């Protein structure tokens, strides 16, 4: 588990979206076992609910790619550090690419899969074609089976900044090409 060391907060800042002085900036130091010291940054507006977060390693890391095969319910607990620059690839399910609205996070495999489920549920709700709705429903069933440890799934995280990691002996780390 990550250990938070200190938190600095600055309130009453101008929000880049609504321009009201209701933005809170937060920075904290966190020690992540087997990865090192991380800086966690966030900004949240209490007026318009704008939110942006990122993580950055205190030490420079090489661009990296992590691959893990999730095969048990126990794997849901595996720690994941994801910067806002990272791409998450889940073959035959989805790819989450970084962009201006991307957020970094310190989470676990379950957190990643829960986020993917939310994305698919939103797509299912907005789909007009029955085939698209059925495909989304099948993907949701597959993800639930993975979370219960009844089905395997490969997850890849690619980060050109090296600020992401899958903290597990099961994860295979390689240089990002």
Residue pair 62/175 in contact (Cβ under 8 Å)? The answer is: yes
Residue pair 90/157 in contact (Cβ under 8 Å)? The answer is: no
Residue with tokens 């209701």: 22
The whole-angstrom separation of Cα 123 and Cα 10 is 36
Q: Which CATH number fits domain 61-177: 1.10.10.10, 2.60.120.1040, 2.30.110.10, 2.60.40.790?
A: 2.60.120.1040
Segment holding 2, helix H or strand E: none
pLDDT at 6: 78
Query: CB under 8 Å to 135, separation ≥6 — which residues?
Result: none
- Domain 1-59 matching CATH 2.20.25: the answer reads yes
Query: Does residue 101 surpass a pLDDT of 80?
Result: no
Provide the percentage of residues in the chain whose pLDDT is more than 70.
97
Confidence of residue 65 (pLDDT cuts 50, 70, 90): very high
Mean pLDDT of 70-87: 94
Across the chain, mean pLDDT equals: 91
Numbered ranges of CATH 2.20.25 in the chain: 1-59
pLDDT at 58: 84
Between 32 and 170, name the one with better pLDDT: 170
Numbered ranges of CATH 2.60.120.1040 in the chain: 61-177
Mean pLDDT of 42-67: 92
Residue pair 158/67 in contact (Cβ under 8 Å)? The answer is: no
The whole-angstrom separation of Cα 24 and Cα 91 is 37
The whole-angstrom separation of Cα 10 and Cα 25 is 5
* Helix (H/G/I), strand (E/B), else coil: 31: strand
């Amino acid at each position: 588990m990550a250990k938070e060391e200190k938190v600095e907060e600055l309130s009453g800042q101008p929000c880049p979206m609504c321009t009201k002085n209701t933005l809170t900036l937060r920075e904290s130091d966190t020690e992540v076992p087997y990865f090192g010291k991380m800086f966690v940054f966030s900004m949240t507006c209490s007026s318009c609910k704008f939110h942006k977060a990122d993580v950055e390693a205190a030490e420079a890391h090489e661009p990296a790619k992590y691959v893990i095969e999730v095969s048990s319910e126990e794997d849901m607990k595996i720690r994941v550090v994801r910067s806002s620059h990272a791409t998450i690839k889940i073959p035959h399910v989805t790819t989450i690419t970084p962009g201006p609205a991307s957020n970094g996070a310190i989470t676990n495999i379950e957190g990643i899969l829960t986020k993917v489920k939310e994305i698919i549920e939103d797509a299912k709700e907005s789909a007009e074609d029955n085939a698209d709705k059925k495909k989304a429903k099948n993907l949701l069933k597959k993800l639930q089976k993975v979370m219960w440890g009844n089905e395997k799934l490969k997850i890849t995280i690619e980060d050109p900044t090296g600020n992401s990691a899958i903290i597990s002996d099961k994860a295979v780390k390689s240089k990002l090409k």
